[in-house]
Chains A and B, each alone.
Chain A
């Protein structure tokens, strides 16, 4: 049953084959037995969760049902949820109980979904392996010696190990898609501005975007129907008409033009990952798609540009963690500056400090033009690459990550190697485009994700493209042995 789709869960609930409390209890039991080992969740509150399930059952009994009513969802610990410990994976916020709900949390509450708990993540979403979390690393359910990817590593492991029906994630440079690739499930980063950032703890404001992490494209579409929509509390939220992301799922793909950027298949890509991706492309040809060779010439600049802009914004976004109003404060200090430096030295981990230092540096007088301004200029060039590419194709495909899940500890001392994990995903964040990772097969028993990049607001089409593939393949329903 835990392998069911959201639609199936919803039907079971509607037919009263199972109650939301019972369904929630099934997942809580799995969490209680598996989470101590996997460490996907960092905050659990069974009483609160079951109270929500009970309320959902009342709602179902009253016939007031939405597609996700009563379905247990895992929430990345980056979203403020009233009354819940909300840490963003940091010691800095280890004692922080959010007094308000993020827009995304409110959206799930409004449809009567059940919050199973808060999932582990890289500290302040900075990392690609979930190893920067103050609450310990997360195990990849496919191989406990390996990382789940990051920063949404807890949500990724929870979806892969079926410790939730679906989960939320956020993606600043690949934090939904890279873990989706490494853990073998479907993840979508929407167009920037489609999901409100209100109440989502900021890492890099111009890049952060929340999205669904679920078993299938269809599940992602149902999640998007809840998460997306205009919110006046976020000035970058786009005021567009509400759309049904399931509307195009069943459209045939005949005539679809798939662009393959040569830069995504160049040096740095693990050959076995490349093979899985090309096998998936072959499958698309069978579905009637045609292949176009394209180029995204500035791809190589995306990582340097990202590691100027994201830390610049982060250095400012994280200034509010000063020990004055909430969160960690050093126990002893001699004066104000001492309190600031001790608080922040104790409260932040190494990767966060590294990025605050980089960000502070690139914004400093005398360096701003050479780093920040130049990076903004290149960012526009990268976006322009995609504008040109989409003149030739409908969607772009390639790998979501350059390799399968790597061993825990393998890259912790080599930040640049870690940063290269996001080489294929970062450009879409810089351009504000939507991107997906879809399970496409295995290499040495480890999942490989196919990335689908769409044009702005083309989420429904991307979900259609992914869904049609999932109708003729079964990679997305496979789950790690021993966890069934």
Chain B
């Protein structure tokens, strides 16, 4: 039987506010345990929450970015359960009325094997504001468990999709797209190691063509794209094998173990908590007015979709190139800087996606960490455009820039990379080459096109790579005709 996997994601993004969602305590990561836990974070008797409006602005930004309905009135609710790192015994979240309603994001699923790349729209069900819990610390004191409440009350936006994804590749493409988007609009630092961006993945399988969904299991807390792929692939295989062996799937929460590459059930549905949600009487309903939305909209950067369309129409880039350049805010900013500094868009795009990207990958750097600035790259591109250097020489200049060996013109001068564009000098070189390679000339005249390229190569070699290749081609063609 052919099976189809159905996937939906719930993503917790930590919002980049200076202070916590319901108190004035700092949200900075990595401080000594409990040094960023004020009386509200500790949940002392008598304390009350006060909503941090900055967190709301982050939610509005996200809603605008995915074209979602933003609720004029939403409600904070208490999710009640006992856990040592949950100081109040309830988490303040949103339940029936979330701040962000239905929206959508478009993902680019990369080509795999013989399957071509494609675009797909993933529908967002909702996104709601809530507070993070603290952390249990085991082993800091022998035989004891500690509680660190620094993280308690950090604002989260939980983003929930429809079960729209049909492969691990789609799920990861969505997660990556979301990961870039929340950084693009500046609401989340995207740091997955520190837990700023965590995904829960709901997976079910069904016979291809069946309408009803299968029973789902939820893989909790995936904090890398690699683990997400492994976890979904394992879970899908496991569910299919279980069903093919005549078994049934029980609704459950599962954990992925990166060491074994397997998923394992944490608790079944029967043991699931009844969270006894009810509206938090300590907080008023959250109102978002048209004016609030307008104010936030005015602070929003150009969104990736809009920028992509602009790159295509304004600079004549292909859809693929425009998508690549707008895959992250940093790359887009870099590209825009080169264009603003006077580079031609197409060669700039090619260099960024080609030479620069390869080098960054090789040295595991992000574009923001690139030793070659957008301005330097632009100078380099200008020297290619005005025929001062050849493309090959430009690569040497790029290497030198990367190694911080000075500015473009100085490097060209020091390394003697200036291209020979004097047609008299080039003619002289070509005459020498024709004289030294009569066999090749004969081959060409006998109809072997390849011989022409070999002669160009000889001429370039004789000029030590400095001859302008276009001129070499032109003169050689004339001489041989």
Q: A442 at the A/B interface (Cβ < 8 Å)?
A: no
CB distance from A313 to the nearest CB of B (A): 6
Q: Using Cβ atoms and an 8 Å threshold, which residues of chain A touch B48?
A: 197-198, 233-235
Q: A198-B47, A201-B45 are in contact. Are A312 and B84 (CB under 8 A)?
A: no
Contacts between chains A and B (CB distance < 8 A), count = 95
CB distance from A398 to the nearest CB of B (A): 27
Q: A99-B39, A316-B278, A365-B274 are in contact. Are A324 and B147 (CB under 8 A)?
A: yes
Q: In the complex, are the beta carbons of A200 and B46 less than 8 A apart?
A: yes
Kindly identify which residue among A236, A320, A368 contacts B89, using a CB–CB cutoff of 8 Å: A320
Q: B412 at the A/B interface (Cβ < 8 Å)?
A: no
Q: In the complex, are the beta carbons of B89 and A316 less than 8 A apart?
A: yes
Q: Using Cβ atoms and an 8 Å threshold, which residues of chain A touch B50?
A: 232-235
Q: In the complex, are the beta carbons of A100 and B90 less than 8 A apart?
A: no
A-facing residues in B75-113 (Cβ within 8 Å)? 78, 80, 82, 84, 87-90
- The contact string, 1 if C-beta is below 8 Å from chain A, for chain B 22-63, is 000000000000000001001111111111000000000000
A372 (CB) vs chain B CBs: closest residue: B278
Q: In the complex, are the beta carbons of A319 and B80 less than 8 A apart?
A: yes
Kindly identify which residue among B39, B47, B51, B80 contacts A363, using a CB–CB cutoff of 8 Å: B80
Q: In the complex, are the beta carbons of B284 and A364 less than 8 A apart?
A: no
Kindly identify which residue among B39, B45, B283, B284 contacts A88, using a CB–CB cutoff of 8 Å: B45
Q: In the complex, are the beta carbons of B46 and A80 less than 8 A apart?
A: yes
Q: In the complex, are the beta carbons of B82 and A319 less than 8 A apart?
A: yes
Q: In the complex, are the beta carbons of B276 and A100 less than 8 A apart?
A: no
Q: A123 at the A/B interface (Cβ < 8 Å)?
A: no
Chain A interface main SS type: loop
Q: B281 at the A/B interface (Cβ < 8 Å)?
A: yes
A124 (CB) vs chain B CBs: closest residue: B45
Q: B194 at the A/B interface (Cβ < 8 Å)?
A: no
CB distance from A238 to the nearest CB of B (A): 11
Q: B282 at the A/B interface (Cβ < 8 Å)?
A: yes
Kindly identify which residue among B45, B90, B284 contacts A96, using a CB–CB cutoff of 8 Å: B45
- The contact string, 1 if C-beta is below 8 Å from chain A, for chain B 267-288, is 0000000101110011110000
Q: In the complex, are the beta carbons of A368 and B282 less than 8 A apart?
A: no
Q: In the complex, are the beta carbons of B82 and A340 less than 8 A apart?
A: yes
Q: A405 at the A/B interface (Cβ < 8 Å)?
A: no
Q: A100-B39, A365-B274 are in contact. Are A324 and B281 (CB under 8 A)?
A: no
Kindly identify which residue among A79, A100, A232, A324 contacts B44, using a CB–CB cutoff of 8 Å: A100
Q: In the complex, are the beta carbons of B276 and A364 less than 8 A apart?
A: yes
Q: A86 at the A/B interface (Cβ < 8 Å)?
A: yes
CA distance A436 to B147 in the complex (A): 45
Interface residue range, chain A: 35 or more
* Most B C-beta atoms less than 10 A away, residue of A319, A340, A360: A319
Q: A212 at the A/B interface (Cβ < 8 Å)?
A: no
A-facing residues in B312-350 (Cβ within 8 Å)? none
Kindly identify which residue among B44, B51, B84, B88 contacts A319, using a CB–CB cutoff of 8 Å: B88
Q: Using Cβ atoms and an 8 Å threshold, which residues of chain A touch B89?
A: 316, 318-320, 322
Q: Using Cβ atoms and an 8 Å threshold, which residues of chain A touch B88?
A: 319-320
Q: Using Cβ atoms and an 8 Å threshold, which residues of chain A touch B281?
A: 204-206, 236, 313
Q: A393 at the A/B interface (Cβ < 8 Å)?
A: no
Q: In the complex, are the beta carbons of A325 and B82 less than 8 A apart?
A: no
Q: Using Cβ atoms and an 8 Å threshold, which residues of chain A touch B47?
A: 198-199
* Most A C-beta atoms less than 10 A away, residue of B44, B45, B51, B277: B45
- The contact string, 1 if C-beta is below 8 Å from chain B, for chain A 301-334, is 0000000000011011011101011100000000
Q: A23 at the A/B interface (Cβ < 8 Å)?
A: no
Q: In the complex, are the beta carbons of A102 and B46 less than 8 A apart?
A: yes
Q: Using Cβ atoms and an 8 Å threshold, which residues of chain A touch B277?
A: 363
B23 (CB) vs chain A CBs: closest residue: A233
Q: A93 at the A/B interface (Cβ < 8 Å)?
A: yes
Q: Using Cβ atoms and an 8 Å threshold, which residues of chain A touch B274?
A: 364-365
CA distance A365 to B49 in the complex (A): 26
CB distance from A169 to the nearest CB of B (A): 16
B-facing residues in A388-430 (Cβ within 8 Å)? none
Q: Using Cβ atoms and an 8 Å threshold, which residues of chain A touch B90?
A: 316, 319
Q: A202 at the A/B interface (Cβ < 8 Å)?
A: yes
CA distance A197 to B47 in the complex (A): 8
CB distance from B170 to the nearest CB of A (A): 33
Q: In the complex, are the beta carbons of A326 and B46 less than 8 A apart?
A: no
CA distance A340 to B81 in the complex (A): 12
**Known pairs A326-B44, A363-B80, A368-B276. 18 more at Cβ < 8 A?**
A79-B46, A88-B45, A93-B45, A98-B44, A200-B46, A202-B282, A206-B281, A232-B50, A234-B48, A234-B50, A236-B281, A318-B89, A319-B89, A319-B90, A320-B43, A320-B88, A324-B87, A325-B43
Residue pairs across A and B with Cβ atoms less than 8 A apart, 29 shown, are A80-B44, A80-B46, A99-B39, A100-B44, A102-B46, A197-B48, A198-B46, A198-B47, A198-B48, A199-B46, A202-B45, A202-B282, A205-B282, A233-B48, A235-B51, A235-B284, A236-B281, A312-B278, A315-B276, A316-B78, A316-B80, A316-B90, A316-B276, A319-B82, A320-B43, A324-B147, A326-B42, A365-B276, A368-B278
Residues of A at the B interface (CB closer than 8 Å) are: 79-80, 86, 88, 93, 96, 98-100, 102, 197-202, 204-206, 232-236, 312-313, 315-316, 318-320, 322, 324-326, 336, 340, 360, 363-365, 368, 372
